[in-house]
Structure 1
Amino acid sequence: MHPPMRFFWSAPVLSGLLSIALTAPANAQPDAVAVAESLFNRGLADMLAGRYPTGCPALAESHRLDPRPGRLFTLAECEAQWGRIATAVARYNDFLALYSRMSEAEKIQQHERHVVAREQRDALAPLVPQLTLSLPGNAPPGTVVQRDGITLGQPSLGIALPVNPGEHVVTTKAPGGPVHEVRFTIDRSESKTIELEVTLPGEEPAREEPTDRPPDQGAVPPPRPAEGAAPSMQASGPSGRRVVTYVAGGLAVSGLILGSVTGLMALDESSRAAKGCRDVGPGVATCGTAGKAAGDRALHLATVSTIGFSAGVVLAGAAVLLLLTEPSPAGPQASAAPRPRAGAVSWSLLAGPNGGGVAVRSQW
């Protein structure tokens, strides 16, 4: 990353921006001069306000209608502040070339601008990106190449040309063929070479896959079951009910572990409290500071242990209930289910007029 260019205008230069020093050319039309003056004032106001996308084009049109050194210099400054450094260097060079053809009186009037233009040109020139565009060998004669809407002739291809930093669009079109477009960005001081592609007549233009499509787009969908057939019970993962069962079981284990650990800690603290207290009468004991603190901790840990055990037991019961009442797969898929492997354990609920129970089966 290069630091942004800074611009410091002295009083003579700033005053020169606000009023064009040289008179209009003799062949300039009065209406064109008036329009150019209005465009210059508007463009200068936009430039000073940082609105370069509107200010610089207005200054360029003002200079086209009424070419003057002051307009050209101001346009170069606007392009440089906008970040279009390749265009700015070209404008500074135009001003310096114009300055070299001025009379001595005009050079004295434009001397301050001449100094600034030369310094800016020398500072920006090394930062201008260089772009090389080349056509493939199968490109037919008459292929049109455009960069940002500007047609590039054959002499402009295959050599490094200065461009402004940022995003650019290059299109190629063979005679009778479709337009092929490529977009790219280039940074300051960067040199880039791009081998262009040309779509010949009758060929389908290459299409780029959109980058924002869902990952599963284009996947072959599974075949739909025949009409009247039972839906398949096969799933790619556990059902939502089974996930809830797993979560409840995990929380149940955590609750039981918490109850056990805090219960042991409560017993330990209770033992410490007993050592720090002594009986002074039937049912009456006095405790020191350490004994009282240990007793308080024992009471707190006992409460946590009770809550942990209770929650663990409730969640364990819920997990078992969810597991036992989970519906079995039905239909043709159920009859084709594989037999349980050796050592597998299964259970089922039994109900009858005299009560119910749980039947546990094991196969070896």
Structure 2
Amino acid sequence: MRFLVMLALPLAPAAFENAAHAQQQQQQQQQQQGENGLAAARKLFAEALRAEEKGNFAEALEKFRRVAQVKDTVPVRYRIAACLEGLGQLKEALRAYQAAIDLGAGDPKDLEVVRDAKRHTSSLGERIPQLTLTVSPRAPSSSEVRIDGDPLPVAELGKPIPLDPGTHDVTASAPDTVPFRTQITLPERARLSLLVPLDPKPAPKNEEHRTALPPPASPPSAITAPEAPAQTASSSSSSSARTTGGWIAVGAGAALLVGAGVTLALRQSDISKLEDACPNNVCPGEREDELSSIRSRAQAEGPIAGVLAGLGAVGIGVGTYILLSKPHPNASTGAGSNVNFLNGARGELRLGGRPAPGGGRLVLTTTF
């Protein structure tokens, strides 16, 4: 035993020396790998910056995240947040800016980056849209509401939910209710509230109540009974059409008379202009074209007023006649009936009245 111990004593220093040398080599290798990794990360960071400057935010974001795996710093987190903001992912960008602020808190060398990140978080808080969801009072307590497939906690109902700008799917379901689904497009800064109508399904109708009872047998004398109401309805329809046509004719005649009055007023105004501009019927030469136009207009306005007045008087007369007269027993009935008036040797005046959804329509035709 003593011999073995004496034999091992000379070998101990050599073993320790070999172990120390191996550890030193491993540390050197790790240091070399770290230096190579940092150099590659710096190169990748520069490439990501160029991609971000060109607006290639998706490419830049992927490279910045690879850099963060090598060395996570405040500037790297800030650039990740900026790319997320450029992609419109405002919620995640807000979290990334806050992560940069937390990492750089108290470090003087990152003070400017932290200050800029705080400015972005302030503006993003206003730009991020918010959606408030509530369910109908009759909805079961087991109702489940989802936004873009993610379930919404019950505690979040009735509270503003921050969402990224864009289109979002809102679905809801519960036992024995009609499922709900809709799409909502939210622009930046939107503040929207939505009521989710989760109401119970309608009870099924009893099929027994759908069976129609056979109609009672009618006596032979009842076969002709419907004819009397049909004639009454036809007569009522004809009377209504005549009344509608009469009022339309009166209204049209009154409108034409008003138009005639307005035309006469315009003619008198043009005559006054001519008298003022041409005292003693002597018109200035520099206004010859203008005064000639006024004179022509005044000459045309007189006949126009006369025609409008005549048609207006005819319309009022025809309408009054329709309203005061009774329908002829042999007159055709229905919505498209025509009535002839003033049939004589010199011509014919025909009035057609048709009911319409907003009132009636009058067709006035004259031949002479």
TM-score by length of 2: 0.45
Which structure has greater helix proportion?
2
Q: Which has the larger radius of gyration?
A: 2
TM-score by length of 1: 0.45
